[in-house]
Amino acid sequence: MVEHLQKRTTAFITAPIAALAAAAFAVVLVSLAIGARETDAFALTRQRETLEHAIDQHGLSLARELRVQTVWNEAYEKTQAVNTAWMRAFYGMYLSELLGYDRIYVLSGDDKPVFGFVAGNELTATHFSHIASGLTDLLKAVRDPAAMPADYNVVATDISLNDGNVVQHHAVADVRNIDGHPATVVVSTIVPDRAIPSGITSRPFLLVAVEDLDKAFTKQLGANFGLRELEWIADGTPAGDVTEEVKALDGATVGTLAWRKDRPGLQFVRRVSLGLGIALALLIAFTFLLMRWGKQQAQQILQSEANARLAARTDAMTGLPNRVALRETFPQLIAEANTTASTLGVLSVDIDAFKEINDNFGNTVGDAVLLAIAERLRRLLGPSPLLARPGGDEFMVLAPGLDAERLAELASDAVARVAEPVELDDGTRVLVTASVGYALAPRDGDRGDDLARRAELAIAHAKAAGGGVAIAFVPQMDLELTRRRALETALRKAVNDEAIDVLYQPLMDPSGSRVVAAEALARWTDPLLGPVSPEVFIPLAEETGLIPKLGEFVLRKAVADAVAWPDISVAVNVSAAQMHHGDVVAVVRDVLNGTKFPPRCLEIEITESVLLADEKRANEQIKGLQALGVKVALDDFGTGYSSLHYLRSFGFDKLKIDRSFLDGLGQSEDGSVILSSIIKLGLDLDLTIAVEGVETSEQRRWLQASGCHQLQGYLFARPMTAGQLTKFIAQHTGAAVAAG
């Protein structure tokens, strides 16, 4: 009985203790379970918020990226004119191939599609109708932001046109389901950045850019924010253990994202379970560990987000801030400069001939050169100015607080520092130079885009000067660019409207009494710009791709006018661009067949630059022209480097000696001997010899005595219209001219 009482007493004493211990242990377990669940829920909430924020920020980033392409006079004018070729080059190909957009559309002022470009192929503009119904609210948002809810977050920017007027640029971005695929869609108005002579009289056109949120994008997004196995799933397809339905601003479902959920709470329970099994007394210690671990996890999440933000703003190769960081920092530094009445220097550093470095040494050496230049600029600048690499072979420096003199010194120092040879580990030695352009705020502008563009304008002048120099922006550069754009626009219209004049300068026989040929000369007088020299508009036509159309027009006009001059040859110049990027033989054949003009009366004049660019192509074209019965002349002979070589290699019919050989004729024995030798060489090769620039009777007599066949110059006539040439020919039918 005593023994039984002892047992009951022991049980009475130990039971409450055991129960209390069990209850305490249960409380701990329940608390752990609740804490684990809440931790998991918190982590999941943060992941969902981070995912939504990342997608939204990606859209805003694209909207800002396209601002450069849509706030631009040229873009405004070309789209208003529905210039498909321009939109293909600067919107279709550029945005697709260089910036990675999958679809590009341009809509007119009444939201009708005028251009489409999808997956590297130009489509009919009506292709937009397949997706138009799903973008109605975005079009309305950029047209009338005030009418839309605040969550559309339309980016509105005031654009000063420098004439007292201001236009507003609107851009909006959202995720949409495009043909069954999630995508980011950016809709942006296309507005000018400077005053338009004709004024803005219509609603702006719209640029619609679509970037598919494909597997690569989703994988990178998951990697950046720690979302394991993040992917888009089809309806009913199980993937991951967490899903998030992504919706557009209009409430439509774009798609569903799935990923593997982080379980920090469960991980914690697993880690502390061994300690709980050892002793309940360690509960406080494990609770402390829980709090510490939770804090560490939160810090890790925050650090991961910070690392992701940093990676998105850092150039992977050099570790410098990239274009995104530059765009974010620019407004801050400009605002600080304005607030403190200080300055902000902007230097753009561009490595000269970097493509040749890659071509000659390979991309690995090219990357090593970029790293070396980045390090040199770091050491030169120190920690104060911001050094960034926007992309390619370009670096940009934002230097607050510098005056014009110190900024010029910094630019010169950058040129000198880059110009030091780059010595690589394998012994390769690369000679590098850089062109630097720089601008100073507020003197040269108070907007980041303007300052960067003007620094790049200065770089263009530095490269035109041969590279390896630093040049400051001056307002004249903007004027030159504006004039060039105006010239290009006017020239394009003049060529399209066939508003180019064709004049003729006669070529006389050696006596100067009879017209034997006439050279067709293109002349242009613009209603607003006035007369424009051929030395200006011919190279511009070559650069802008207008030269084939211009050359064909001059040829057709010359042949049509020459029908009135029987037995008089007409000569038409052909440029290197026409010869190598077109088929001159086919054009000449079509003109001759269409006019029945005798081929023997047509001469095609080419210069040595045509031959220098591609001898094989030039030889094929020359032989093709001669096979048609057309004569081919080598123009401006003696001004190049390989004239004798070309005379031996190509079967020319005629040799036109440059006017420079007539300077000082008769005054310098050496000059007369050289000219006599050239004429004798041409005669020995059985070529027709013509001389340009004859201005005195003494020159004519000397050339006649030397055996020249044709003379051209102001001694006989200046360029004239076709009607004037007809009268001139009638007055010069072979009668002897007065000696003198």
Phi, psi torsion values for 532, nearest 5 degrees = -120, 125
Instruction: CATH number of the domain at 378, please.
Output: 3.30.70.270
Q: Tens of pLDDT along 271-280?
A: 777 776 785 5
pLDDT of residue 503: 96
Same domain, 575 and 617: yes
User: In total, how many domains does the chain have?
Assistant: 3
| HEC profile of 432-462 | CCEEEEEEEECCCCCCHHHHHHHHHHHHHHH
Does residue 647 lie within any of the structural domains? yes
Give CA–CA dist 702/721, Å, rounded: 29
pLDDT category of residue 671 using cuts at 50, 70 and 90: low
Q: Tens of pLDDT along 231-261?
A: 888 665 555 678 888 888 888 888 888 888 7
Does residue 559 lie within any of the structural domains? yes
Same domain, 723 and 632: yes
pLDDT of residue 739: 35
Predicted confidence (pLDDT) at residue 216 exceeds the cutoff of 70: yes
pLDDT of residue 187: 95
| pLDDT (mean) for 648-665 | 82
Region of poorest pLDDT, from 33-37, 645-649, 668-672 = 668-672
Phi, psi torsion values for 113, nearest 5 degrees = -70, 135
Tokens 């000018």, residue located: 192
pLDDT of residue 18: 56
| pLDDT (mean) for 272-299 | 68
Phi, psi torsion values for 250, nearest 5 degrees = -85, 5
Same domain, 449 and 492: no
Does residue 506 lie within any of the structural domains? yes
What percent of the chain has a predicted confidence (pLDDT) above 70? Answer: 86
Query: How high does pLDDT run on average in the chain?
Result: 83
Tokens 């000659």, residue located: 360
| pLDDT (mean) for 354-359 | 86
Predicted confidence (pLDDT) at residue 3 exceeds the cutoff of 60: no
Does residue 78 lie within any of the structural domains? yes
| Alpha helical stretches, state H, 81-176 | 84-87, 129-132, 136-143
Predicted confidence (pLDDT) at residue 188 exceeds the cutoff of 50: yes
pLDDT category of residue 675 using cuts at 50, 70 and 90: confident
Region of poorest pLDDT, from 273-287, 461-475, 613-627 = 273-287
Predicted confidence (pLDDT) at residue 194 exceeds the cutoff of 60: yes
Give CA–CA dist 313/329, Å, rounded: 11
Instruction: CATH number of the domain at 149, please.
Output: 3.30.450
pLDDT category of residue 210 using cuts at 50, 70 and 90: very high
pLDDT of residue 308: 62
Q: What is the dihedral of CA 515, 516, 522, 528, to 10 degrees?
A: 10
pLDDT category of residue 605 using cuts at 50, 70 and 90: very high
Region of poorest pLDDT, from 93-107, 188-202, 263-277, 562-576 = 263-277
CB 76, CB 204: distance < 8 Å = yes
The amino acid at residue 737 is: V
Same domain, 452 and 588: no
Q: Tens of pLDDT along 545-588?
A: 898 999 999 999 999 999 999 889 999 999 888 887 788 999 99
pLDDT of residue 450: 83
Give CA–CA dist 3/5, Å, rounded: 5
Structure tokens at 670: 């050496």
Does residue 602 lie within any of the structural domains? yes
Q: Which residue has the higher pLDDT, 42 or 144?
A: 144
Residues linked to residue 28 through DSSP beta bridges, in sequence order? none
Give CA–CA dist 553/8, Å, rounded: 121
The answer to whether the bond into 385 is cis (omega within 30° of 0) is no
- Considering only CA atoms, which of 663, 671, 670, 655 is closest in space to residue 707? 655
Same domain, 396 and 511: no
Domain final position from 473, 492, 507? 473
Same domain, 463 and 589: no
What percent of the chain has a predicted confidence (pLDDT) above 90? Answer: 28
DSSP one-letter code for 127: G
The full DSSP string for 377-394 is HHHHH-SSSEEEEEETTE
Region of poorest pLDDT, from 50-64, 117-131, 651-665 = 117-131
Specify whether the backbone of 729 is left (phi greater than 0), alpha (psi in -120 to 50) or beta. Answer: alpha
Same domain, 530 and 439: no
| Buried-exposed string 387-411: b where 16+ CB fall within 10 A, e elsewhere | bbbbeebbbbbbbbebeeeebbebb
- 640: part of which helix (H) or strand (E)? none
Structure tokens at 186: 């950016």
**What angle do the packed helices 323-339 and 448-464 form, to 10 degrees?**
110
CB 79, CB 190: distance < 8 Å = yes
Q: Which residue has the higher pLDDT, 154 or 615?
A: 154
Does residue 244 lie within any of the structural domains? no
Domain final position from 422, 453, 473? 473
- 686: part of which helix (H) or strand (E)? none
Nearby residues of 330 by Cβ (< 8 Å), 6 or more positions away: 398, 448, 451, 452
| Alpha helical stretches, state H, 426-546 | 448-464, 475-496, 534-543
CA torsion sign for 726, 731, 736, 740 is negative
Predicted confidence (pLDDT) at residue 618 exceeds the cutoff of 90: no
Instruction: CATH number of the domain at 574, please.
Output: 3.20.20.450
Burial of 164 (0-12, 13-18, 19+ CB in 10 A): exposed
Region of poorest pLDDT, from 194-203, 418-427, 510-519, 535-544 = 194-203
Nearby residues of 600 by Cβ (< 8 Å), 6 or more positions away: 569, 629, 630, 631
Tokens 């420096």, residue located: 397
Region of poorest pLDDT, from 292-296, 718-722, 734-738 = 734-738
DSSP one-letter code for 736: P
Give CA–CA dist 457/185, Å, rounded: 32
Domain final position from 155, 180, 213? 213
Same domain, 202 and 106: yes
Same domain, 518 and 490: yes
pLDDT of residue 615: 80
pLDDT of residue 299: 73
Same domain, 694 and 716: yes
Does residue 346 lie within any of the structural domains? yes
* CA angle (312, 315, 319) in 5-degree steps: 115
pLDDT of residue 736: 42
Tokens 């339309």, residue located: 154
Print the domain residue range for 206.
66-213
Same domain, 510 and 652: yes
pLDDT of residue 522: 94
pLDDT of residue 521: 95
Does residue 413 lie within any of the structural domains? yes
CB 246, CB 230: distance < 8 Å = no
Length of the chain: 740
Same domain, 435 and 492: no
* CA angle (490, 491, 497) in 5-degree steps: 90
Give CA–CA dist 376/689, Å, rounded: 59
